[in-house]
C-alpha cells in the first residue's frame, strides 16, 4: 500500500511540474506565474479540487506519442472565492505552449458543463499558443465545443476570462463570448491575426503589444474590461469582482455585511452641480458618496469615459451603476458609450442585478463620424437594453436630460421604477440656446430679443418641475439625501416581478 501511495504522490508531483523546471523558470522570467500558481492565488487557500490531472492526449502524429505530459496543458477544477463555488481552467504554457488539443478542450468542457449544472461561475485563465498544430482538425473541433458551451452558459452563469499570455487566432472567440475579459499589461495579447500576417497582408508594421496588448484592448477596441500591472493584481481583482456577482441567473446577488448607514446624509452633494450649467463636475464623486463604504468596482474604466459603468453595494446588496460623466465630452452619448453601457445593462439584467442610472446628458454627439458609423443603431442598443430590462431600476437626474438621450437613459417611459431628479435638473428637448435659435429664428439678428427668449426658455424648461407635473419624475429630492432615497427605493423593489411576452429571442439592433 505504501508503494502505491508513493506512486500516486510521484505521479502527482510530476503532473504538478507541468513542462518541467526550465520552462517554469522561463515563465517566471517573463513575469508570468504558472497555471497552478494562478489558480492558487485566485481561489481561497487550500480550496482547489483538481479534475483530470492525469489526462493525456491521444495524438500519434509527429511522434507525439513520445510526449504525453500529464494534464495536457490545462489545469481544471473547482474551488471557492470567499467561500462561494467557482469552476476554473488555467492553461499551462509550460506544457506544449498551452496549446489546445482534443483532450485539453474536453477538460475545459467538463468543468463548463459542471458549472452550468451546478450554477456556478466559470473563470478561464488563457495562456496558450492556440490550436495544437499536430492535432489539426481535432483541435479545431475542441474549440468549437468550448465555443458552443460559452454560448449556452451566457446569461446562465457568469463567465470571466483572464488573458495572461498569448491568445490568438480563432481562440480569441471563447473569451470574447464571456462576460468580462481582464488582461495583464505587457505579458498578454489577443488578436485574430498576428503582426506577421498583418505585415504581409496590409503592409502595416505593428508589434504584438500595439496590435493586441492590454492597453490597446482597454482603450481602443474595448475588447477587454480592465488591464492590470501583473498576474497577482489581476487575480486579486477578479476575486473582488466575483464578490459582487450572483453565482447564476436564478440567484440574487450576494448580500455582504455593511457598516455604512443607508440613511447617511451627504451635505457636500448639495453643491456638487456647479452654478454654471456648462461647467463640468466629476460624477464619480456622486457614485463614491452613494456606495456602501465608498466601494466602486468600475468596468471599462479606460474606454468611452463619457459614460461610467460598474458595481456598488447599497445595504450590502450589489447594484449596477450607469452614469454620464460630464467631465468627458460633456457626458454626451455616442457610439462607444452606448455600446459600453448597453452591454453592462444587459449583463445586470441577465443576472438580476438592480440598476441605478445617474443622468447628466446633453444628448447624442453630433457629427458625420458618428452618423456614418451608425450611431442610430448603436444608440438603439442602449435604448433597447433599458427597455427590455426587468430588474429594479432607479434613476436620478442630477442636471441635463435632453432629447432622445432623456428617453434612452432609464426614463419612466422605459419602465424605470423610481425616477428622481435633483432641483438642478433640466429636462427638455434641448438646451435653451439651441431651442431659442430654432423657435425664434426670425429674431436671430436681435441679440437682446434672443437673450430674452433664452432666459424665458430656461425659466420655463430648465427645471425638473414640468416633468414632475406629468409624473415622469416621481419626486424632486435633496441631493444630500440621495443615498437614503435610492437605498429605500431599491429595498422596496426586492420582490419586483415583470412578465415579458413570449418570444424565441429578441432581435436587438446589433
Ligand atoms: C503545438 C505549440 C503551439 C501550438 C506553441 N507550441 N504553440 N505546440 N501547437 N499551437 C510549443 C512550441 O513548439 C514550444 O515547444 C512551446 O510551445 C513554447 O513555444 P515557443 O514558441 O518556444 O514560445 P514563444 O517564443 O513564447 O512563442 C509563443 C507563441 C509561438 C507566439 C505562441 O509558440 C507561436 O507562434 N505558436 C504558434 C501559434 C499558432 O500559430 N497557433 C495556431 C493558431 S490558429 P518546445 O517543445 O519547443 O518548447 C488557432 C486556431 C484556433 O489557434 C481556431 C479556433 C476556431
- pLDDT tens readout for residues 368-384: 999 999 999 999 999 99
Index of the ligand 1 atom closest to the CA of residue 23: 48
Specify if 199 maps to a domain. Answer: yes
Residue nearest to atom 22 of ligand 1 (CA): 97
Q: Do 183 and 303 belong together in one domain?
A: no
Residue 331 annotated to the active site: no
Specify if 260 maps to a domain. Answer: no
Q: Do 409 and 444 belong together in one domain?
A: no
∠ CA 403-407-410, nearest 5°, is 140
d(CA 146, CA 107): 10
Q: pLDDT tens digits for 41-99?
A: 999 999 999 999 999 999 999 989 999 999 999 999 999 999 999 999 999 999 999 99
Given a contact cutoff of 8 angstroms between Cβ atoms, the answer to whether 153 and 159 are in contact is yes
Residue 169 annotated to the active site: yes
- Coil, helix or strand for 333? strand
Q: How many residues in total does the chain contain?
A: 510
Given a contact cutoff of 8 angstroms between Cβ atoms, the answer to whether 376 and 336 are in contact is no
Residue nearest to atom 21 of ligand 1 (CA): 97
d(CA 153, CA 350): 12
How far are the Cα atoms of 198, 210, 343, 470 from residue 203, in angstroms, in the given order?
Answer: 7, 15, 34, 60
Q: What are phi and psi of 157, to 5 degrees?
A: -130, 145
Output the pLDDT for position 13.
95
How far are the Cα atoms of 98, 119, 168, 390, 391 from residue 42, in angstroms, in the given order?
Answer: 19, 19, 24, 33, 30
How far are the Cα atoms of 54, 180, 356, 465 from residue 400, in angstroms, in the given order?
Answer: 61, 31, 17, 13
Q: What is the mean pLDDT of the chain?
A: 96
Q: Give, for ligand 1, the residue of 63, 97, 101, 131 to mutate: max count of ligand atoms closer than 8 Å to Cβ.
A: 97
Q: Who's near 181: CB < 8 A, 6+ residues apart?
A: 161, 162, 163, 175, 190, 217, 223, 224, 225
Q: Which of 169, 194, 316, 434 is catalytic?
A: 169
C-alpha 126 to ligand 1 mean position (Å)? 13
Output the pLDDT for position 431.
86
Residue nearest to atom 20 of ligand 1 (CA): 97
Q: Do 367 and 488 belong together in one domain?
A: yes
Using the predicted structure, report yes or no on whether residue 259 has a pLDDT greater than 90: yes
- Helix count (H) and strand count (E) of the chain? 19, 17
Output the pLDDT for position 54.
95
Q: Do 284 and 209 belong together in one domain?
A: no
Q: Do 29 and 127 belong together in one domain?
A: yes
Q: Which of 168, 291, 405, 467 is catalytic?
A: 405
Only one residue has cell 509527429, namely 62
d(CA 246, CA 249): 7
Helices of type H across 422-464: 432-439, 447-461
Q: pLDDT tens digits for 175-201?
A: 999 999 999 999 999 999 999 999 999
d(CA 494, CA 476): 23
Q: Do 331 and 188 belong together in one domain?
A: no
226 lines ligand 1 (CB under 6 A): no
Q: Report the range of poorest mean pLDDT among 328-332, 365-369, 434-438, 472-476.
A: 434-438
170 lines ligand 1 (CB under 6 A): yes
Residue 124 annotated to the active site: no
C-alpha 130 to ligand 1 mean position (Å)? 6
Output the pLDDT for position 496.
97
Q: Do 89 and 135 belong together in one domain?
A: yes
How far are the Cα atoms of 44, 89, 183 from residue 39, in angstroms, in the given order?
Answer: 9, 8, 16
Average pLDDT over residues 341-356: 98
Output the pLDDT for position 461.
86
Output the pLDDT for position 444.
87
Using the predicted structure, report yes or no on whether residue 1 has a pLDDT greater than 90: no
Specify if 11 maps to a domain. Answer: yes
Domain carrying residue 359: 267-425+463-492
Q: Locate 374 and state its grid cell.
A: 451608425
Residue nearest to atom 52 of ligand 1 (CA): 130
Q: Do 158 and 45 belong together in one domain?
A: yes
Q: Locate 402 and state its grid cell.
A: 435632453
Residue nearest to atom 35 of ligand 1 (CA): 129
Q: Do 470 and 454 belong together in one domain?
A: no
C-alpha 77 to ligand 1 mean position (Å)? 24
Specify if 250 maps to a domain. Answer: no
Q: pLDDT tens digits for 483-493?
A: 999 999 999 99
C-alpha 163 to ligand 1 mean position (Å)? 16
Question: 191, 209, 242 — which closes off a domain?
Answer: 242
Residue 404 annotated to the active site: yes
How far are the Cα atoms of 333, 375, 391, 429 from residue 366, in angstroms, in the given order?
Answer: 10, 9, 31, 15
Output the pLDDT for position 433.
86
Q: Do 413 and 453 belong together in one domain?
A: no
Pairing of strands 393-402, 426-428: parallel
Q: Per-residue b/e over 111-134, b at no fewer than 16 CB within 10 Å?
A: bbebbbeeebbbbbbbbbbbbbeb
Specify if 372 maps to a domain. Answer: yes
- Coil, helix or strand for 77? strand
Q: Do 84 and 199 belong together in one domain?
A: yes
d(CA 60, CA 57): 9
d(CA 235, CA 40): 10
Average pLDDT over residues 348-354: 98
Q: What are phi and psi of 230, to 5 degrees?
A: -155, 175
Output the pLDDT for position 192.
93
Specify if 510 maps to a domain. Answer: no
Please tell me whether the interface predicted TM-score (ipTM) of this complex is above 0.90. yes
C-alpha 131 to ligand 1 mean position (Å)? 8
Q: Give, for ligand 1, the residue of 59, 130, 171 to mutate: max count of ligand atoms closer than 8 Å to Cβ.
A: 130
Residue nearest to atom 9 of ligand 1 (CA): 132
64 lines ligand 1 (CB under 6 A): no
Index of the ligand 1 atom closest to the CA of residue 133: 9
Q: Report the range of poorest mean pLDDT among 228-232, 304-308, 378-382, 447-451.
A: 447-451
Specify if 108 maps to a domain. Answer: yes
Q: Do 102 and 223 belong together in one domain?
A: yes
Q: pLDDT tens digits for 125-171?
A: 999 999 999 999 999 999 999 999 999 999 999 999 999 999 998 89
Specify if 155 maps to a domain. Answer: yes
Q: pLDDT tens digits for 398-457?
A: 999 999 999 999 999 999 999 999 999 999 998 888 899 899 999 888 899 999 999 999
Helices of type H across 305-394: 335-350, 368-372, 375-388
How many structural domains is the chain composed of? 3
* CATH assignment at residue 209: 3.90.226.10
Among candidate residues 381, 368, 296, the one with its CA nearest the CA of residue 336? 381
The CA-to-CA distance between both ends of the chain, in Å, stands at 62
The pTM score is: 0.96
Amino acid at each position: 500500500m505504501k508503494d502505491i501511495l508513493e506512486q500516486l504522490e510521484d505521479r502527482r508531483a510530476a503532473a504538478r511540474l507541468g513542462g518541467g523546471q526550465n520552462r517554469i523558470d522561463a515563465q517566471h522570467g517573463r513575469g508570468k506565474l504558472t497555471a497552478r500558481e494562478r489558480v492558487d492565488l485566485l481561489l481561497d487557500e487550500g480550496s482547489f479540487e483538481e479534475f483530470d490531472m492525469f489526462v493525456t492526449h491521444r495524438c500519434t502524429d509527429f511522434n507525439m506519442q513520445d510526449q504525453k505530459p500529464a494534464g495536457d496543458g490545462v489545469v481544471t477544477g473547482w474551488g471557492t472565492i470567499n467561500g462561494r463555488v467557482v469552476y476554473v481552467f488555467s492553461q499551462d504554457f509550460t506544457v506544449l505552449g498551452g496549446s489546445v488539443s482534443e483532450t485539453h478542450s474536453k477538460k475545459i468542457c467538463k468543468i463548463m458543463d459542471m458549472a452550468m449544472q451546478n450554477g456556478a461561475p466559470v473563470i478561464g485563465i488563457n495562456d496558450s499558443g492556440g490550436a495544437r498544430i499536430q492535432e489539426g482538425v481535432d483541435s479545431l473541433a475542441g474549440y468549437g465545443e468550448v465555443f458552443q458551451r460559452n454560448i449556452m452558459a451566457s446569461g446562465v452563469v457568469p463567465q470571466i476570462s483572464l488573458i495572461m499570455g498569448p491568445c490568438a487566432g480563432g481562440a480569441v472567440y471563447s473569451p470574447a463570448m464571456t462576460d468580462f475579459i481582464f488582461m495583464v499589461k505587457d505579458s498578454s495579447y489577443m488578436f485574430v491575426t498576428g503582426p506577421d500576417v498583418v505585415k504581409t497582408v496590409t503592409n502595416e508594421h505593428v508589434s504584438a503589444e500595439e496590435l493586441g496588448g492590454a492597453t490597446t484592448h482597454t482603450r481602443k477596441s474595448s475588447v477587454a474590461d480592465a488591464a492590470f500591472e501583473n498576474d497577482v493584481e489581476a487575480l486579486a481583482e477578479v476575486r473582488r469582482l466575483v464578490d459582487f456577482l450572483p453565482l447564476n441567473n436564478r440567484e440574487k446577488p450576494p448580500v455582504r455585511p455593511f457598516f455604512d448607514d443607508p440613511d447617511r446624509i451627504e451635505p457636500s452633494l448639495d453643491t456638487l452641480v456647479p452654478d454654471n450649467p456648462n461647467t463640468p463636475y466629476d460624477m464619480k464623486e456622486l457614485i463614491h458618496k452613494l456606495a456602501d463604504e465608498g466601494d466602486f468596482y468600475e468596468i471599462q474604466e479606460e474606454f468611452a469615459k463619457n459614460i461610467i459603468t460598474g458595481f456598488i453595494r447599497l445595504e450590502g446588496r450589489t447594484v449596477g451603476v450607469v452614469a454620464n460623466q460630464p467631465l468627458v465630452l460633456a457626458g454626451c452619448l455616442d457610439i462607444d458609450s452606448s455600446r459600453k453601457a448597453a452591454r453592462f445593462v444587459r449583463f445586470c439584467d441577465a443576472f438580476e442585478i438592480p440598476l441605478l442610472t445617474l443622468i447628466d446628458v446633453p444628448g447624442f454627439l453630433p457629427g458625420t463620424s458618428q452618423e456614418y458609423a451608425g450611431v442610430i443603431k448603436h444608440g438603439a442598443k442602449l435604448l433597447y437594453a433599458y427597455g427590455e430590462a426587468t430588474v429594479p431600476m432607479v434613476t436620478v437626474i442630477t442636471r441635463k436630460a435632453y432629447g432622445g438621450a432623456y428617453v434612452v437613459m432609464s426614463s419612466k417611459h422605459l419602465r424605470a421604477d423610481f425616477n428622481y431628479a435633483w432641483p438642478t435638473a433640466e429636462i427638455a428637448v434641448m438646451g435653451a440656446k439651441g431651442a431659442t435659435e430654432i423657435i425664434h429664428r426670425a429674431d436671430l439678428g436681435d441679440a437682446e430679443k434672443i437673450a430674452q427668449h433664452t432666459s424665458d426658455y430656461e425659466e420655463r424648461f430648465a427645471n425638473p418641475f414640468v416633468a414632475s407635473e406629468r409624473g415622469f419624475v416621481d419626486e424632486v429630492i435633496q441631493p444630500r439625501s440621495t443615498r437614503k432615497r435610492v437605498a429605500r427605493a431599491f429595498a422596496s423593489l426586492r420582490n419586483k416581478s415583470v412578465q415579458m411576452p413570449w418570444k424565441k429571442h429578441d432581435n436587438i439592433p446589433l
